[in-house]
A and B are shown apart, each in its own frame.
Chain A
Amino acid sequence: GQQLNQSPQSMFIQEGEDVSMNCTSSSIFNTWLWYKQEPGEGPVLLIALYKAGELTSNGRLTAQFGITRKDSFLNISASIPSDVGIYFCAGTQGGSEKLVFGKGTKLTVNP
């Protein structure tokens, strides 16, 4: 099935640093979503994007829906230790409700 290419696979940063991760696809997506998953728990939605070019913020998080509709990025500013976790991008295509997930970016924040 369709795959989303998410990078980087992992990041090790110092507290206070900014973080950027992205997802790309060879085909068009109608929605882009960013989730955070902590160990032993289900993913929690961070930001949902519905329109090409859309830039949306949620606190220290900012995400954008690429103009080509084939990519999206997530930025985290001024990282804190509780930002640790695995961040997944996901998207839907056509009229489907099915979410296609990226492979995740594991974020480690050193205090």
Chain B
Amino acid sequence: GAVVSQHPSRVICKSGTSVKIECRSLDFQATTMFWYRQFPKQSLMLMATSNEGSKATYEQGVEKDKFLINHASLTLSTLTVTSAHPEDSSFYICRLDAGRGGTDTQYFGPGTRLTVL
């Protein structure tokens, strides 16, 4: 089956620093990538949607200058949290669309736990 990886799995950083999270598809080309944020004991909230080679579309209330998304290729998307603050501490999860049609060809990554001190 399809495999999606995220790196790092956990990161702890100081307030004010930037953190880059990578999401890779290991055995398929992802035409569309989604980034979610999940706070403890909460549901997943969509942050942005990106298609390879074009700018990401951000959900209402998500600052595009703070959460930089680069869909560099059909196998890699990155989310950079710039000038991170403690309130950005969360579980960040990517979801990739294998493009074969149907929502069951979309796969979640294992997530990245970000802790900002």
Interface of A toward B, CB cutoff 8 Å: 1, 31, 33, 35, 40-45, 48, 50, 88, 92, 97-99, 101-104
* Secondary structure type dominating chain A contacts: loop
* Secondary structure type dominating chain B contacts: strand
Chain A residues with CB below 8 A from B44, complex form: 43, 88, 99, 101
Contact (A44, B43) CB under 8 Å given A33-B103, A97-B103: no
CA distance A63 to B20 in the complex (A): 38
Chain A: CB-nearest residue to B107:
A45
Known interface pairs A97-B103, A99-B95; 17 further A-B residue pairs with C-beta atoms within 8 A, sorted by A's residue number? A1-B59, A1-B60, A35-B108, A40-B111, A40-B113, A42-B93, A42-B95, A42-B110, A43-B44, A48-B104, A88-B43, A97-B34, A98-B49, A99-B34, A99-B44, A99-B46, A103-B42
CA distance A48 to B93 in the complex (A): 20
Q: How many residues of B contact A (CB 8 A)?
A: 25
- Asked whether A98 lies within 8 Å of B32 as measured between CB atoms, the reply is no
Chain A: CB-nearest residue to B93:
A42
Query: What distance in Å separates the Cβ of A36 from its nearest Cβ neighbour in chain B?
Result: 11
Chain A residues with CB below 8 A from B113, complex form: 40
Chain A residues with CB below 8 A from B110, complex form: 40-42
Most A CB atoms within 10 A — which of B6, B95, B103, B110? Answer: B103
